[in-house]
Amino acid sequence: DIQLTQSASSLSVSVGDRVTISCRASQDISNFLNWYQQKPGKAPKLLVFDASYLETGVPSRFSGSGSGTDFILTISSLQPEDIATYYCQQYDKLPNTFGQGTKLVIK
């Protein structure tokens, strides 16, 4: 299975911060990498697909980059409603896999 490793399980952040969340794949997955946001008690929500394409309706402060094995989700200016857990997911090879998640907490 392809392993996805998110560099931080938790990040301490402040409103207005530029936040970067990284995801590293155990092998080359081209750009077959997606990002999801999950708030407590809610279903995940797709933010970015194919590494860099913003899902319709997602605020432009979110962006994704990377290819191959290294990927980044960036929030340019953190808003209070962005406090959540973020997951990467690969679909290059079955079984699809998720990263372990990065939880944003307010400082």
Partner 1 sequence: EVKLEQSGAEVRMPGESLTISCKGSGYTFRNYWINWVRQMPGKGLEWMGRIDPDDSYINYNPSFQGHIRFSADKATKSVFLEWTSLRASDTATYYCARQSTVMKGYLENWGQGTLVTVTA
Q: Is 98 in the site for partner 1 (CB under 8 A)?
A: yes
Task: State the DSSP string of 32-99.
Answer: -EEEEEE-TTS--EEEEETTTEEPTT--TTEEEEEETTEEEEEESS--GGG-SEEEEEE-SSSSPEE-
Closest approach of partner 1 to the CB of residue 24, in Å: 16
Choose the binding region for partner 1 from 12-20, 46-54, 61-69, 71-79 (rule: CB under 8 A): 46-54
Sole binder of partner 1 in the list 44, 52, 76, 83 (CB under 8 A): 44
- HSE-up of residue 45 (Cα within 13 Å, Cβ side): 16
Q: Is 97 in the site for partner 1 (CB under 8 A)?
A: yes
Q: Is 63 in the site for partner 1 (CB under 8 A)?
A: no
Within 8 A by CB and 6+ apart from 95, the residues are 1
Q: Is 71 in the site for partner 1 (CB under 8 A)?
A: no
DSSP state of 7: S
Q: Is 22 in the site for partner 1 (CB under 8 A)?
A: no
Q: Is 55 in the site for partner 1 (CB under 8 A)?
A: yes
Q: Which residues bind partner 1 (CB under 8 A)?
A: 32, 34, 36, 38, 43-46, 49-50, 55, 87, 89, 91, 94-101
